[in-house]
Every structure is written in structure tokens, then in C-alpha cells.
Amino acid sequence: MTRSRATTLAVVAAAAAAALVPATATAAGTQRYTVVAKAGTAPSAFDRAVRAAGGRVVTYNRRVAVGTVSARRGFAPRAVATAPVLAASPRRAVGRSDRDAAARRVRRTKAIEAGRDGAPAPLGASQARPRPPAAGVDPLAPLQWDMAAIGATSQGSHRLDQGEGVRVGIMDTGVDGSHPDVAPNFDRGLSRNFTVDDPTVDGPCEEEPDRSCQDPADVDENGHGTHVASTIASPINGLGVGGVAPKASIVNLRSGQDSGYFFTQPVVDALTYAGDHGIDVVNMSFYVDPWLYNCAANPKDSPAAQAQQRTTIVAVQRAVDYARRKGVLPVAALGNENTDIDAPTSDGTSPDYPPDAAYDRQIDDSCLTVPTETEGVVGVSSYGPSGRKAYYSNWSLRQADVSAPGGDRRDFFGTPRYNAPETRILAAYPESVGRTGDTDLDGVIDIDAQGNPTTPLVVRDDSGGRPSYYQWIQGTSMASPHAAGVAALIVAAEGRRDRRNGGLTLPAARTERLLERTAVPVPCPAGGTLTYPDPDLPASYTATCTGTTDHNSFYGSGSVNALNAARLGRR
């Protein structure tokens, strides 16, 4: 992994240790704070420090010394004045929120999770349709151009290795453990939900299906996490689609809200849980809210906002370090802002919580997207079916470690394939989300009362005796799980028996090296500059690729390859 962040992290750690942070100036009453203590701080010492500062410990993750605290305003400066505490910041973004907007149920498509931006072409002769597959191939497999692109097919990696004995953690909006193309590989016993629904963005608790803000660990009321899980490990079971590693175990490590927000404490808790329970790979198709870019000392930000960003950087870095030491390889989406993240210049989307709190600010390369730019995380860029960098995908010479299929609806401009559903990625879709429209993708009901899709972006399959549903979406969120699935195949091929947790294990550094080594190098486009012919895309979408064929800013070390990974076990 190519990183040059030591100086930035040293500055952040020093600033966090020295920060005296005022609490958010909001209405009187308690609020939640993220508190980072010195490494090794015992729970009792943490509790004493919090109480002395006037707070109450809600949760404390002693493995990385990061906790959530409930306290009134003025807590943060008192907390950091105590010996054990390095930094404290309110979870709520620093900024004003429109009360009416905050009260409404917020369903928005975050840039990192974009999938269905733009209506698909009408269903017609140009759209690919399922055709009778070969024996032993799932019925929708012929629509999975993405699996063919990385050799994850019945004639490729699936005949050599399917990832049995490997556990993949899905850090996302949840996983529908009842979906017929997820259930066979879903590990219900290990799955956990580290979140509690937040009415500000997830809607009133009484409007939830179970009339509760505490969701079980086999539910996905968004659809994003189920799609990711399906891409990684849908089984070859005679229905729907097949995943990259169709015999790997799926572990739901829910760290995202129903609405698609991801906050620091659930992310930290999910990563440390993965390290303690024999998870081999985690997929992270998100950024940690409320900041797209976390800056240690941006003069545009208030002291409280700076402290909040420093806290996120330090807390997630600790959690990633802990997980890697325990054999977990974290894999993350590079992002969908069509930006060279080695040279960002502005961020007008942060803070995104509470809604309507964002403001424009100038940034530079000292600002980090977390977890993508967290040290030790594999960054994945996206390409479409033609192989070109997807129009939305970020790029980076330092942060793009590998690339993978993520879909590109703007591929093949000027042909019948332009904007066709099948230029995206097809994977499992929770029926409950499709029937209720309870999703951050578009809020529209995708499955009618008779069980029929109302959009060509949803596919119904009846092969299993009852309907199962799949959706076409795109994004680096869809590219990352392809890389996570290949990483699972590497652990299956090279791993040793995990005597403590069962299954297999492999040091994260070795899994990462082999993921890059088995990737197929992809050169920069001729001349280094990529322009998109689609007139809807302005000149700002022109992107410049730097580096060599062996490693460049568009494709990293190349496209992940499941067949090459599976062959490792045949050496």
C-alpha cells in the first residue's frame, strides 16, 4: 500500500492530545461525545475521568480506548483537562440545522454510496436478459459482466476455490440474512449491529417495521449492505447470482444507519469486534460522517469542528491498526466524487450531520477521507464494463491500491448500451426495501403488490421456488466488495487453520501483498488524459492518470483477479 501520511498523523495526534474543545452550541440538555483516551486506559480510569468532567459513559471500547459519553455542554474542555483523555468532541456536527428538515425522514444518496443516479434506459431490445445458463451456473450469472471481468466464473476461480473457511465482515447498513441468495452463507451467530437508529436521519422509531430503534443483526432497511454482501459471497445455489467467493461466510458488522450515515463509534466497535472474532476481511463502502474530508487544523473550521475531525482520524486509525494486528484486512471504496484525492481542493458537503449544516471550505492534501485514507486500508477504484475508469470514481496514485468492476451507466455513449441497466452491477436486493420504498436510493416503491418489479433496475428470479430480487446499481461501493471477495479467496488459498476462532487466518500484510500481486496491471489511457464523450458530463470530469502500467492513479496495481488468487492454492 502506498502511503505518505506519517507527518499528517503525527500532527493530528499531537493536536488531539492538546485540544481544549468547546462543546457544540446547541439547545440545553445532554448530547453524545466521542472521547479518545490514552492507549491502555482501563475502563475504571476512563469512567472516573468522564464522571469528573460531568459526563456519563455510554460505551467504552477498551481495546482502542475510545468511548461514547453522554454529557451537557461544556463537557469537552473539562474532559481533556483530565490525565487519561486526549480528545473529546460532540458527535453532532458543528453547525445549524433547519429544524423542519431535521425532523423529516432523511433519505439521501451520499456520494460514496451513489448507485442509481439517473433513470435507466427504457426496457427494450437493447437490454440484456437472463438466458439459460450452463449446468451448475446460477440463472442470473450471464448478466454478471463484473464476475467475468475478474475471472470469478464457473470456468474460472469457482472451479478451483470458492473461499470456504473464510469470514468476511460487511461493515455497512446491515445485511438481509433472510434473502435466499445470502442466507446459506450468513453467519447469524457472529453477526452484530453496532448502531442505534437516529430519528434525525433514520425517522421516528415508531415508524420502524418493529416500532423500535434497535434493529436485529439480520436486517437491512437500506439495501446497500445486502448488495455488497451478495457480490462478495452469494452461493452457487441454483438461483439468482453468484459471488466472488461463494462459500465464504458473511458476517454482518452493521456500522451504518438505515439512512446511510456512518459514525465513528460504531465503525471503531465493528473493526475491533472483527479483530477479536476471527474475521479475515472487512468491506467498508462508506466514509465516516459527518466529514467527507477530515482536516486537523483547517482555518475555515471552528476549534470544535477541528477537534471532531482529529478525533475521527485518531479513533479510526487505532481501530484499523488493532484489526490488522489480529489478521483482518480492511478494504474500502475510493469514493465517488470524481476527484484526485491526492490533491483535493474543496469540500462543500461537510458536515453532513445534522442535515443542512454543510458549508464550503478550501482543503488540501493534509485532509483525509476516513477510512479510505486511513493507514492500512486497501483503497479500491472503479471501472465500467468497457474497462475505462468509471466517470464518478475517485483516483489517486497513493491511495488506489487496486481497481475492480463498479459499473458505469455512462459507458458506451452513442450506442444502445448507454445508460442500460446492465452496465451497472447486479446483486441481491431485500424484498422488504423494494416493497416499501424505504431506501436512500430513490424512495420509490420498486416492487408492486403483485411482486413484480416496477423498474428495469430491479430483477426478479423465481428459480428458488419463491421470488428473490436483485438490483442494478453502480459505485466504488460496488467495486470494493469485488476486491474483498478476491482477498477472501487469497486467505482460502494461503491461510492456515485459526486455532482460536476456527476457519482460516492469514496476516493482513500478506493478504494485501497477494491481492496486489495477483491483480492484472492496467495501463493509463493513451496520453494519460481521460475525457468522457457524454455531453451531460462537463469538462471538470476530465481526469489525468499518472504512474506506470505496474501502478497508476486510475487502477492502482491493476484489476483484482479471482482466478489468479484461486491459483495460489495450486502452486
Distance CA 541, CA 553 (A): 15
Judged by average pLDDT, the poorest of 56-60, 423-427, 435-439 is: 435-439
Q: What is the pLDDT at residue 29?
A: 77
Domain boundary (75, 96, 117) is at: 96
- For residue 509, what is its C-alpha cell? 500484510
Distance CA 225, CA 370 (A): 18
In this predicted structure, the answer to whether residue 405 has a pLDDT above a threshold of 70 is yes
The SS3 assignment for 89 reads strand
In this predicted structure, the answer to whether residue 9 has a pLDDT above a threshold of 60 is no
pLDDT in tens, 498-521: 999 999 999 999 999 999 999 999
In this predicted structure, the answer to whether residue 116 has a pLDDT above a threshold of 80 is no
CATH (domain of 78): 3.30.70
pLDDT band at 546 (very low <50, low <70, confident <90, very high): very high
In this predicted structure, the answer to whether residue 453 has a pLDDT above a threshold of 60 is yes
In a domain, 360, yes or no: no
Q: What is the pLDDT at residue 36?
A: 96
Domain count for the chain:
2
| Claim to verify: residue 545 and residue 486 sit in the same structural domain | yes
| Alpha helices (H) in 55-172, listed in sequence order | 75-80, 99-103, 145-149
| Claim to verify: residue 452 and residue 430 sit in the same structural domain | yes
Instruction: For residues 303-324, give the mean pLDDT.
Output: 96
| Claim to verify: residue 290 and residue 232 sit in the same structural domain | yes
Distance CA 180, CA 166 (A): 20
| Residues in CB range of 394: below 8 A, 6 or more apart | 334, 335, 336, 337, 338, 339, 340, 341, 381, 400, 476
Backbone dihedral region of 331: left (phi > 0), alpha (psi from -120 to 50 degrees) or beta? beta
| Claim to verify: residue 113 and residue 236 sit in the same structural domain | yes
In this predicted structure, the answer to whether residue 440 has a pLDDT above a threshold of 50 is no
In a domain, 13, yes or no: yes
Backbone dihedral region of 40: left (phi > 0), alpha (psi from -120 to 50 degrees) or beta? left
Residue pointed to by grid coordinates 458505469: 408
Domain boundary (96, 111, 135) is at: 96
**CA distance to 175, 241, 432, 460, 515, per residue, from 465 (Å):** 22, 15, 18, 12, 38
Q: What is the pLDDT at residue 361?
A: 96
Domain boundary (50, 71, 96) is at: 96
In a domain, 359, yes or no: no
Q: How many CB atoms lie within 10 A of CB 271?
A: 35
| Claim to verify: residue 271 and residue 415 sit in the same structural domain | yes
Q: What is the pLDDT at residue 436?
A: 87
CATH (domain of 544): 3.40.50.200
In a domain, 122, yes or no: yes
| Claim to verify: residue 311 and residue 449 sit in the same structural domain | yes
pLDDT band at 264 (very low <50, low <70, confident <90, very high): very high
Query: pTM for the complete prediction?
Result: 0.91
| Claim to verify: residue 319 and residue 430 sit in the same structural domain | yes
In a domain, 500, yes or no: yes
Instruction: Write b or e for each residue in 442-475: b if 16 or more Cβ atoms lie within 10 A of its Cβ, otherwise e.
Output: beebbbeeeeebebbbbbbbebeeebbbbbbbbb
Judged by average pLDDT, the poorest of 9-13, 137-141, 334-338, 550-554 is: 9-13
Catalytic positions are 172, 224, 477
In a domain, 310, yes or no: yes
Distance CA 241, CA 267 (A): 29
| Claim to verify: residue 74 and residue 112 sit in the same structural domain | no
In a domain, 192, yes or no: yes
Domain hosting residue 495, numbered range: 103-354+366-570
| Claim to verify: residue 200 and residue 56 sit in the same structural domain | no
| Claim to verify: residue 451 and residue 487 sit in the same structural domain | yes
Q: What is the DSSP letter of 285?
A: -
pLDDT band at 119 (very low <50, low <70, confident <90, very high): low
| Claim to verify: residue 84 and residue 109 sit in the same structural domain | no
Judged by average pLDDT, the poorest of 251-255, 304-308, 324-328, 478-482 is: 304-308
In this predicted structure, the answer to whether residue 5 has a pLDDT above a threshold of 70 is no
| Claim to verify: residue 135 and residue 110 sit in the same structural domain | yes
In a domain, 361, yes or no: no
Distance CA 76, CA 55 (A): 9
pLDDT band at 113 (very low <50, low <70, confident <90, very high): very low
